[in-house]
Structure 1
Amino acid sequence: MTTSRTYEDLVKEAVDASVDGWDFSWFEGRATEERPPWGYARSMAERLAVASAALDVQTGGGEVLASAPSLPPLTAATEGWPPNVAKATALLHPRGAVVVASPEDASLPFAEGAFDLVTSRHPVRTYWPEIARVLRPGGTYFSQQVGPASAVEVVEYFLGPQPPEVRDARDPERARARAEEAGLEVTGLQEARLRMEFHDIGAVVHFLRKVIWMVPDFTVDRYEPQLRSLHARIESEGPFVAYSTRFLIEARKPGR
């Protein structure tokens, strides 16, 4: 695949684009990623429709929660990044949901047993004891998470081979064990490996600016040689292919 646009034009467009929230519409026509087979947003909406009090942890810009047709009478969301807090507030307040600014590594700012449903899409880290604490007996945690070695092809292109402890850090079986240690019963666990394609270097730059933990020290200037080389490769050979991994976990707090 070739394009008529220069490296400089593609990179400038990616650098100028906003990376607030979890809206990925910018990638349309420039990158693709297979969707997991379970349909997280739809399944989340079904659970929200029958919940009385729900919490969405690390909600990002609130886009996924806001996609639900109906929300429980009491709905709250937490987010730690200030630009996302503002975006989520604007999106969710009209739906009657409260957004609480809360650092990702802090205790959840809610009372014990406050919610019968806690959801989270792609949390940076899951604090299982806190999830268990804020759930009511009989309540459910429902989450789609990034799996092990997700998009490792992108990471290793820029950073080189990664050690096993990095590649396997998000093992779903480890998540199961930690949920059970926190006193929850894991009632569902599914995994998927999904093809990603980057059709131009701008899509790679935007991805690394948006998903900042992939290459934590990423800047265009710092990685210019690698970016120019990858641009030439995409132009001559076609899309840069990587594979994301996802898992869906559902856990219940024992009790009524």
Structure 2
Amino acid sequence: MRSGQQYGEPVDETTTPLGERATGWEFAWLDGRPGEPSWSYPDLARHLLRRAGAALDLDTGGGELLAELAPLPPHTVAVESWARNIPVARDRLAPLGVAVLTELPGGEDEFDVVLSRHGRLPATDISRLLRPGGHLLSQQVGSDDLAGLNVALGAPPAHHRWNAEVAVAALEEAGLHVTDVREEHPDVVFHNVGEVVRQLRDLPWQIRDFDTGKYADALGRVDSFIRLHGALAVTAHRFLVHAVRS
């Protein structure tokens, strides 16, 4: 999941060991695991991009998904602020003619489509950057995502409420017309405690102070639970919003 920046907050690189974090957002070991929603964000994005002359991808990560959506509009820009991802994204997207910026563009009425998959959702800036009739498509990670892991380990829950209702209210306040909203809580199943540890190390915003030493006792309890019951099941939290600038 992206938004290093889940719920709009950047990952604190000063407190998360770099050696425990991936570069880009290619978590191949998660492929095929449950937890994805019923809709296909890439398919929805491709449909919009086919008719667009200019597109913006927010928090592109290493540019993995945007590259998969090619062919892209003639004017396509990606934004990525995490220092470790920037050279990865530029290497991947430069052959496609995509400029990678570290901050949002400063203009107005520039893009037909703005995409944000698990990235920021700055409603006012999106409204500014979209042309009249332009589309926003965003898939977000909600604040209830994998909350069962926090409960199982006795860790603090998410501090910010982030769901479809909150996002829609912000977008509508910024002058966008929301045309489609979907929200789901698909199951995620962990079959051993090693999968739990790897999830929390690769996605450090779930439990920001996670350390195997600090949570050793709690991990031991989770391990015992999985050995007894065969798995630990929690739920993900995803929502999709499609909006248009009138």
- Do both share a fold (TM > 0.5)? yes
% identical equivalent positions: 38
Distance 2:235 2:76 in 1: 34
The residue that corresponds to 1:5 in the other structure is none
Shift of 1:162: 4.0
1:27 aligns with 2:10: no
* Contact residue 76 and residue 99 of structure 2 kept, 8 A: yes
Per-residue Cα deviation, 1:197-221 (whole angstroms, up to 9, x for no partner): 1122222122112222110111222
The residue that corresponds to 1:170 in the other structure is 162
1:218 aligns with 2:221: no
1:110 aligns with 2:106: yes
The residue that corresponds to 1:119 in the other structure is 115
The residue that corresponds to 1:63 in the other structure is 64
SS in 1 for 2:84: helix
SS in 1 for 2:186: strand
Distance 1:129 1:144 in 2: 18
Equivalent position amino acid for 1:41 in 2 = P
From the superposition, tell whether residues 16 and 145 of structure 1 become closer, same or farther in structure 2 (CA, over 3 Å).
same
Equivalent position amino acid for 1:178 in 2 = A
Note the aligned Cα RMSD (angstroms).
2.0
SS in 1 for 2:100: strand
TM-score normalised according to structure 1 size: 0.83
1:181 aligns with 2:169: no
Alignment of 1:18-97 (within 5 A): 19-28=22-31, 32-97=33-98
| Aligned pairs, number | 229
Equivalent position amino acid for 1:112 in 2 = E
Distance 2:155 2:209 in 1: 14
SS in 1 for 2:169: helix
Per-residue Cα deviation, 1:115-163 (whole angstroms, up to 9, x for no partner): 110001012x421101111111111110001124111101222245748
SS in 2 for 1:59: coil
Distance 2:207 2:231 in 1: 20
Equivalent position amino acid for 1:42 in 2 = D
Distance 1:162 1:87 in 2: 32
SS in 2 for 1:82: coil
Equivalent position amino acid for 2:30 in 1 = F
* Contact residue 109 and residue 132 of structure 2 kept, 8 A: yes
Unaligned regions of 5+ residues in structure 2, if any?
1-17
Q: 1:195 aligns with which of 168, 187, 201?
A: 187
* Contact residue 77 and residue 100 of structure 2 kept, 8 A: yes
Shift of 1:229: 2.4
Equivalent position amino acid for 1:197 in 2 = V
Q: 2:150 aligns with which of 155, 161, 165?
A: 155
* Contact residue 48 and residue 72 of structure 1 kept, 8 A: yes
* Contact residue 159 and residue 215 of structure 1 kept, 8 A: no
Equivalent position amino acid for 2:142 in 1 = G
Equivalent position amino acid for 1:47 in 2 = L
SS in 2 for 1:176: helix
SS in 2 for 1:83: coil
Shift of 1:183: 0.7
Alignment of 1:221-236 (within 5 A): 221-236=213-228
TM-score normalised according to structure 2 size: 0.86
* Contact residue 158 and residue 215 of structure 1 kept, 8 A: no
Equivalent position amino acid for 2:95 in 1 = P
From the superposition, tell whether residues 20 and 159 of structure 1 become closer, same or farther in structure 2 (CA, over 3 Å).
farther
The residue that corresponds to 1:250 in the other structure is 242
From the superposition, tell whether residues 65 and 243 of structure 1 become closer, same or farther in structure 2 (CA, over 3 Å).
same
Shift of 1:34: 3.5
